[in-house]
Structure 1
Amino acid sequence: MTTLPVVGAAMTLKSLELHRDWLIAHQRDLELQDFVMADVLNGDWMPRVEQAKRLLDGHTGRVGIHGPFWGFTIDSEDPDVRAVATRRIDQGLSVCEALGATHMVIHSPFTAWSYNHILNERKEFYAIIERCHQTIGAAVKRAEDIGCELVIENIEDKDPAQRIALADSFNSPAVSVSVDTGHAHYAHGSTGAPPVDHYIRIAGARLKHVHLQDADGYGDRHWSLGEGSILWHSVFAALSETDSCPRLIIELRDHSKIPASAAYLAGLGLAI
């Protein structure tokens, strides 16, 4: 990167109404969080899409959504649960198609438990990969067709390379990876995983999305940037080494602190 990157944010439509001017002033990337719940996806979500389009009139940044994840994993051993997961991901892609979204976040299947047991029995790694293909294989093809990327976010991942291997296994431009800084910091502090900047470097060209949140290495805090112990200079040094142009999405529990988080990075000379 030859110039400072521009950070975007994840927010609900309610928060978008409040932060619209902030978002459009620098044409920041946006991730909408309104489409993760089953009751929304099973209902009439089109009015939400229409509201988003009205609010985004004049916005030229990239737009995506956080996809559904509650109550399932994409590598479930139960075929009935896989069928539910397949349906939810497909519903999320329907939202993306209607919205014109170019990314949808989905959650990684890898855990600290699977890390230890994969090392004991390597064939389990390939079983996880196969179950993921059974769950989202059709979604990958649909994502290709509608110009949307499925970005696989680290949750409990202890070995960042496993998620890269999962993305590579689809051999598709529609599958890439996301790094959540707070999740990586949790894994580093609590399970002995590498530090956050290593997650970014290992992702390399597959990195198309980053959730920026601060934390303490103990839990998934989603604190405003600067409130935790993440070493942001190292994170952005690693980001400067990639030319994959990842979406840099501030993701906080308290949406009112989104502009302050961006200002914190600007004050460090790391981003706009």
Structure 2
Amino acid sequence: MTDLPVLGAALSINGFKVHRELMLARPRDLELQDFISADLLNGNWQESVDTALKLLDGHEGRRGIHGPFWGFTLDAMDPEVRSIVKKRLLQGLDVCERLGGTHMVVHSPFSTWDYNNLDNYDRGRERKIELCQETMGPAVKRAEDIGCELVIENIEDKDPNDRLRLAQSFGSTAVKVSIDTGHAHYAHGSTGAPPVDYYVKAAGDMLAHVHLQDADGYADRHWALGEGTINWPSVFEALSKIGSKPRLIIELRDHNGVPESIAKMAALGLAQ
């Protein structure tokens, strides 16, 4: 049992308060999700972080945040929009620094449309990466300075290698890959993408973070693990073969399903 990976969770500050005993029982990695809000980032986010830090006394896992994403993409072509995106990413990293966070999730810009159309344009793929580099450049430098990793999470990604190539293009230890198992399963079931374990294999040691959620291959369900149709033994087998020790973060719509999810993976002998 002790050699099995320890599962963490994505929670709000209030959710961590509810599940604090579970999160402190083992060195479970934590992702706080309050800071996706532009209203909070433009307001008194310091008070929210200070509240979290008090609750985190005794917490031994790694910690980080889900970065802002509402209303924008990393490859925005409009320079004025890019300026807002740059601001939001830097605000998120300010939170990470104060929190002692070592990761911030950002959303992949690759869409299902891109899969069919990027190669329809001269330098379509190159231009997309250039726009992301322009947008993320200041945040990458800031992340390097504070010892934080920007982890790029698949959203609509049909080809798991697109996101990998984007992360590698920065040539920085501060840019890594994230996998959301439910998003990958949606893409597999609804758009013909590979199964979830293939996403893990494609990422390899660039994989620094995983959102664990179950789904049905049709929609982004965020069900408790075991409630959908993801083949969890194949996912954990693939994870066992990479050396990067990614944060394994249960991300559910209903936080009350976190203990159940851990128990189900433990019963299968996959995690603790």
Q: Which residue of 1 aligns with 2:142?
A: 142
The amino acid of 1:85's aligned partner reads V
CA deviation vs aligned residue, 1:101-159 (integer Å, no higher than 9, x gap): 00000000000001111232351111110000110111001100000000000000000
Q: Which residue of 1 aligns with 2:201?
A: 201
Q: How does 1:115-194 map to 2 (within 5 A)?
A: 115-121=115-121, 123-194=123-194
The amino acid of 2:256's aligned partner reads S
Q: Percent identity at matched positions?
A: 64
The amino acid of 1:194's aligned partner reads P
Distance 2:77 2:227 in 1: 39
Distance 1:171 1:155 in 2: 23
CA deviation vs aligned residue, 1:88-111 (integer Å, no higher than 9, x gap): 001000000111100000000000
Q: Secondary structure at the match of 2:19?
A: helix
Q: Secondary structure at the match of 1:176?
A: strand
Distance 2:123 2:199 in 1: 24
How far is 1:80 from its partner?
Answer: 1.1
Whether contact under 8 Å (2:64, 2:96) holds in the other structure is yes
Q: How does 1:46-65 map to 2 (within 5 A)?
A: 46-65=46-65
Distance 1:230 1:80 in 2: 40
Q: Which residue of 2 aligns with 1:98?
A: 98
The amino acid of 2:186's aligned partner reads Y
Q: Secondary structure at the match of 1:70?
A: coil
CA deviation vs aligned residue, 1:27-52 (integer Å, no higher than 9, x gap): 20000001001100000111111111
Distance 1:115 1:176 in 2: 21
Whether contact under 8 Å (2:26, 2:60) holds in the other structure is no
The amino acid of 1:178's aligned partner reads S
CA deviation vs aligned residue, 1:23-78 (integer Å, no higher than 9, x gap): 01012000000100110000011111111110010111100000000000000111
Q: Secondary structure at the match of 1:210?
A: strand
Q: Cα RMSD between the aligned structures?
A: 0.9
Q: Which residue of 1 aligns with 2:265?
A: 265
How far is 1:81 from its partner?
Answer: 1.0
Q: Which residue of 2 aligns with 1:241?
A: 241
Q: Does 1:89 align with 2:92?
A: no
Distance 2:271 2:169 in 1: 33
CA deviation vs aligned residue, 1:211-245 (integer Å, no higher than 9, x gap): 00000000100000111000000000100110100
Distance 1:200 1:118 in 2: 23
The answer for unaligned runs of 5 or more in structure 2 is: none
Distance 1:210 1:84 in 2: 27
Distance 1:262 1:123 in 2: 45
The answer for unaligned runs of 5 or more in structure 1 is: none
The amino acid of 2:35's aligned partner reads F
Q: Secondary structure at the match of 2:179?
A: strand
Whether contact under 8 Å (2:107, 2:152) holds in the other structure is yes
Number of residue pairs the alignment of both structures matches:
271
The amino acid of 2:204's aligned partner reads G
